[in-house]
Structure 1
Amino acid sequence: MKYFLTHTVFLLAILTSTAQDKVNWLSFEEAISLNKENPKPILIDVYTDWCGWCKKMDRDTYSNKTIVKTINDNFYAVKLDGEEKQDILFNGQTFKFQENGRKGYHQLAAALLNGKLSYPATVFMNKKEELIQNIPGYHQKEKFEVILAFFMNENYRTYKWQDFQNNFKSNF
């Protein structure tokens, strides 16, 4: 029995310590629903399956422990496929997959990216589910840490980006 308890406690400790090893990705609808109960900013990673830079950002940036903890503690995180086939209902509007040439795009991704479909892209929405800004491209963990800090406590309201970036103290 003592052996069982020791191993159970050890296993729970391991599971608890790895709970922050990955970003808690949600669907767009899940994030909006959770935001109604407990408002937080929303981070949306807009990607595609064929995008090499998207995979690199997943591997190098979104897997970093500091980035994972910052996102999980301060945002609802959404993975949105820019070529998603499922309809998404948001603010009374149904966003659909739009055929375009050989592939196509999802109307919500196009709306969030202001029609500039470039992957990866990170979109930030405030607690009121209003678009703050979209930031195109791959970002290394050091730069992404600054970007997250700029948006997580509404620092964008009181600081200019350049001033915030120049005075930021990294956790790396």
Structure 2
Amino acid sequence: MFEALTLELMQAGLSWKTIMKKRDNFKLAFSNWDYTQVAQYDQARVDELVQDASIIRHRQKIEAVINNAQRFVAMDAAPVDFSAYIWQFVDGTPIVNHWQQADEVPAITPLAIKISRDLKKRGFKFVGPTTTYAFLQAIGMVNDHIESCDFKYK
């Protein structure tokens, strides 16, 4: 979940092609997606990452990743499982939409707005409704593949 959320926030304003080319580099930069380690990154580590040309060097995004890792750790301490938290918004059942054409797929939905607001209330950063909706799609919580897509039910 931490990886998916991180990639979504890094992608904001950029192409997925750019993000996917750098995916392995992100994994290395962010301690193999171990949010407990990322949560401990200090300003010196942020400065290193901002200089790392193998990833997106956007300071606010890097700081948001670290902040979000800290939010994951805080939820663990509560204890609140992040996956259970996210999936409770749909009662554990994926939403399967039945779009015929790609231009029917929304960028945001009322659900994404609701979750975005709740994530922000919990202190998460770079989780606006569009990024949140893309995250929900990425984790399989929302299936927006068009009906003719070979991957619709895979």
TM-score, normalised with respect to structure 2: 0.25
* Bigger helix fraction: 2
Determine which structure has the larger strand proportion and give its number.
Answer: 1
